[in-house]
Structure 1
Amino acid sequence: MGVITLPNRVHRTHTHLVACCFALALLGLWCARSLLAEVWTLAALPLIWWNNADQFLISARVDDFDITFANYSIHQVSAAPLDDRIPPVIHHVAMGAGAADHTNRWKDVRQSCIDMHPEWEAYLWTDETADTFVANYYPELYAMWRGYRYPIQKIDALRYMVLYHYGGVILDMDLQCKRALGPLRRFDFVAPAAHPTGFSVGFMMASKKNEFVGALVRDLQRYNKHWLWLPYPTVMFSTGCHYASMIHAYQRNRSELKILAGTGDNFKLHSLNGRVSTPIFDHLGSSSWHSYDAAMIVKLGKSKSWRTPVLLVAGVGIAFFVMKKTRRRRLRV
């Protein structure tokens, strides 16, 4: 009997099918290239956050600063004899449903910080004052800001806006001040380190019109996406701690963007994750938006193979792109 051979056309069909699938995959990646780039910048935070950390982590060696604050008076409201780069302004935000109850609950806690900084200006941002402020000073962002899905997004975005416009200190309502923040006014920007990566936006200090804080405001539109239609990733990737830390990580010069951490075995000395006491604050809240997100994302950075983060980022990007297109088709129908 003779040997049976497959027709050449079957082989050609298989080759063409593979080529078509490959071309479609490339086309999908090309169409989603902007989204993939944004997903990668977010997912890569654990990989790049610690680059040149000795430049931006406040230390005695680099900054001649006592991170324990033991050598500073609890009433020191200025960095004198050094220049005060951060203006004497305190911001608190009380917005959304139950804001009045929230303000009343933390009234004494907020007052502790005001009392520690006599003669400083103090702002309490409410739904009404915040709405007027954004409409007047950031009209190009007003519609986006009003349209945020989650109230915490409006609060986070407002933090960056008021900090850029006025400078000063912005504090969560549940942060009770144990001492004045004057020693930190020598820097242009300060925020506490978060665990396991990045920094917390519940406490930030910045000079007026600070370039980095301006970048936080400008990039709000770029990252304004409902990430995977899940609350935590959406908040953290669009306005929250992960978003802000990512913008920090991609700055060309991070040496002036100071992060207040600890040393050695006590690296979390100033971390505000959960209910804790630090040298400068008692954090009386019971939860942290950042801890969930960071724990999830850091697993990506710890992968032993470079293929895992690349494949995951590509997969998330393509899935998001397909879901977005599908949703648009349904809306047309």
Structure 2
Amino acid sequence: MIPRVIHQTWKDQDVPARFLDAQRSWQDAHPDWEYRFWTDEDLAALVRERAPELVPLYESYPEAIQRVDAARYVILREFGGVYADLDLYCLRAIDSLLETEVVLPRTTPFGVSNQFMLSVKGHPLFHHAVASLPRAYRKWGRVWPRHLRVLTTAGPLFLTGRVREYGVTEGMRILSLDEHGHGDPEVSYVAHLRGNTWAAWDTHVINFLHENWKWLVAGAAVSAVLLARFL
């Protein structure tokens, strides 16, 4: 069974006001659960103590979000429980998810997300994820733009790759988009606030293209027809 402990992180103890209600929502929905809050300093100490082989890579990551992403996998490998980003609001108790071994949410446009993860302590998937971090950085650490580099070295695309390598086994559950807050609120466990605290210009460009690609394609098609007709 997945342990009844909730893990959340921020760079320090001063959580921004816009995230406080969401942070409290996890504790309010699970009053009898253990709650563990990790600062960047706590995460660095965890890696030094529990994953010393990662220290050179961890300290060399150019982006803070890469360190946070990597540390999430160490947390779940070492302790198990639930990890949730601070920009996720808990809509209902998640006790019904604890009877399996690993729970990961489907995300758009494909793959799984690492912003909301549940696991038993020591699950092989997270051993595999932690062990794969150096390989992923060697392969993707110089990729441009920055957004893609973050996603592939330790973020959601990295985790998606590890799930594909490990396989979705009998003890794993992949939440639907509706359950992950991308559809029907009646079945969702979480609601998404506007987060992306690590986002830069390239993130906003990529998000714009993802959200508006149908209109962009349609506009390009109309433009091509008009040009062909009048030129």
User: TM-score if structure 1 supplies the norm length?
Assistant: 0.55
Which residue of the partner structure matches residue 170 of structure 1? 83
Instruction: Tell me the amino acid that sits aligned with residue 239 of structure 1.
Output: A
Segments of structure 2 that go 5 or more residues without pairing to the other structure are 211-231
Q: 1:134 to 1:271 in 2, by over 3 A?
A: same
Answer yes or no: is 1:242 the counterpart of 2:151.
Answer: no
Q: How does 1:139-150 map to 2 (within 5 A)?
A: 139-150=52-63
How far 1:103 moved relative to its partner?
A: 4.3
Q: 1:232 aligns with which of 137, 140, 147?
A: 147
Whole-Å Cα distance in 2 between the matches of residues 253 and 122 of structure 1?
A: 28
How many residue pairs match? The answer is: 202
Q: 1:253 to 1:202 in 2, by over 3 A?
A: closer
How far 1:101 moved relative to its partner?
A: 4.7
Whole-Å Cα distance in 2 between the matches of residues 141 and 280 of structure 1?
A: 33
8 Å contact from structure 1 (residues 192, 200) kept in 2: yes
How far 1:247 moved relative to its partner?
A: 0.8
Q: 1:103 to 1:165 in 2, by over 3 A?
A: farther
Instruction: Tell me the amino acid that sits aligned with residue 230 of structure 1.
Output: P
Segments of structure 1 that go 5 or more residues without pairing to the other structure are 1-84, 262-267, 297-333
Whole-Å Cα distance in 1 between the matches of residues 83 and 31 of structure 2?
A: 16
Q: How does 1:1-333 map to 2 (within 5 A)?
A: 85-95=1-11, 99-225=12-138, 226-252=141-167, 254-261=169-176, 268-272=177-181, 277=185, 279-287=188-196, 292=206
How far 1:145 moved relative to its partner?
A: 0.8
Q: 1:222 to 1:159 in 2, by over 3 A?
A: same
Instruction: Tell me the amino acid that sits aligned with residue 189 of structure 2.
Output: I
8 Å contact from structure 1 (residues 276, 282) kept in 2: no
Q: 1:138 to 1:233 in 2, by over 3 A?
A: same
Is the radius of gyration larger for structure 1 or structure 2? 1
Q: Percent identity?
A: 29
Instruction: Tell me the amino acid that sits aligned with residue 116 of structure 2.
Output: F
Instruction: Tell me the amino acid that sits aligned with residue 178 of structure 1.
Output: L
8 Å contact from structure 1 (residues 94, 103) kept in 2: no
Q: 1:159 to 1:172 in 2, by over 3 A?
A: same
How far 1:254 moved relative to its partner?
A: 2.9
Instruction: Tell me the amino acid that sits aligned with residue 190 of structure 2.
Output: F
